[in-house]
Amino acid sequence: MRRPDAQTMFLWAVLGGGALFLGYLTLFHHPGHAGNQATRVASRKSPVQGRRSFGYLEAVCALGPRFSGSEGMRRQQTLLSEHFEQLGGRVRKQTFTARHPLDGTPVEMSNLIVEFHPDRAKRILLCAHYDTRPFPDRDPRRPRGRFIGANDGGSGVAVLMELAHHLGSLDRGFGVDLVFFDGEELVYDDRQGTYFLGSEHFAREYVANPPPYRYEAAVLLDMVGDAQLQLYQERNSLSWPDSRPIVDEVWGTAKRMGVIEFIARPKHEIRDDHLPLHEIGRIPAIDIIDFDYPRSSAVSYWHTEADVPAKCSGDSLFKVGAVVLEWLRTTKLGTP
């Protein structure tokens, strides 16, 4: 995922006065991290397992770097295919070729699509990118070091692996597809990279060759494992009239469950895989993302070698999984 573009940053500079005021509100209304209490509240209602979710995060990270076209990515595809088939999902790969950003050579990419209840014509899309950035290029010491992408690349995958345990028994009017996007960030330089190759390909295929089903909603999970979890509402998701009801439902679900890490206020505007889904695929789409993963000059885990499982927690993965599952069980979207 990438930061807001310069134009947006300028707009926010102009609106600085308002931002300062919001900052003031944030200071006095921040809910803090009463994590354990919220876990107890939510766990009474949810079969989602935090410890197992964290085990999945560790297993995926143990494969090493998983950038597009790498050996780690191939091993991850095998691991995920076996995992989801065991849990009753129907797995297929959507393969395409992209040009390598450095030398133009072809890179084979695959989105992985896992269907639960494929017979149902109304569907909900839960997705995450599963490639990792090739290098930790924001690392102050070793920008050409080893990037594991625990939060950025691993956390969304881990939550979806856990949710798969609970989707076969989901008795709603819609089916669920889990989609793992390749090529989200085969990017070597922030200033000139092409992002979202997998989600863009997926959205173009959905429009060019319409399947016999429709996606009622898409929920993207990105950077949802930070041990200090703070999930503000993402501004693009809120700005789209067809997508805003999903934001309201998801954050409303979290509130009912007492999961205070879902903070029902906008903060960041993020360009992420939900953009192609919405702009090209015309699918109502939201991004659940914690963009407050430490990234100051003094302490930064984002796109650095410090993005490792120890900076994440099973508690955070549990909370996101529990809220999303409860949302699936109660949403009014996609129901007759």
> Which residues of this protein are in contact with Zn ion, per CB under 5 A?
152, 185
8 A C-beta contact, residue 154 and residue 146: no
Nearer to Zn ion, 184 or 216 (CB): 184
8 A C-beta contact, residue 113 and residue 81: no
DSSP state letter for 111: E
Per-residue exposure over 131-141, b if at least 16 CB sit within 10 Å of its own CB, e if not: bbbbbbbbbee
Nearer to Zn ion, 3 or 204 (CB): 3
Nearer to Zn ion, 182 or 185 (CB): 185
Coil, strand, or helix at residue 289?
A: strand
Please give the Cα distance from 335 to 314 (Å, whole number). 32
Least CB distance to Zn ion at residue 195 (A)? 9
Nearer to Zn ion, 35 or 183 (CB): 183
Instruction: Name the residue number minimizing CB distance to Zn ion.
Output: 152
Please give the Cα distance from 290 to 240 (Å, whole number). 20
Please give the Cα distance from 165 to 145 (Å, whole number). 35
Least CB distance to Zn ion at residue 316 (A)? 17
Nearer to Zn ion, 206 or 302 (CB): 302
Least CB distance to Zn ion at residue 174 (A)? 30
Least CB distance to Zn ion at residue 307 (A)? 9
- Nearest CA among 104, 106, 112, 129 for reference residue 185: 129
What are the φ/ψ torsions at residue 210 (nearest 5 degrees)?
Answer: -60, 125
CA dihedral sign of residues 56, 62, 66, 71: negative
Q: Which residues make Cβ contacts (< 8 Å) with residue 325, sequence separation at least 6? A: 46, 47, 48, 163, 166
State both tokens at 65.
């770097």
Least CB distance to Zn ion at residue 17 (A)? 31
Nearer to Zn ion, 152 or 261 (CB): 152
Least CB distance to Zn ion at residue 1 (A)? 5
Least CB distance to Zn ion at residue 216 (A)? 28
Nearer to Zn ion, 134 or 284 (CB): 134
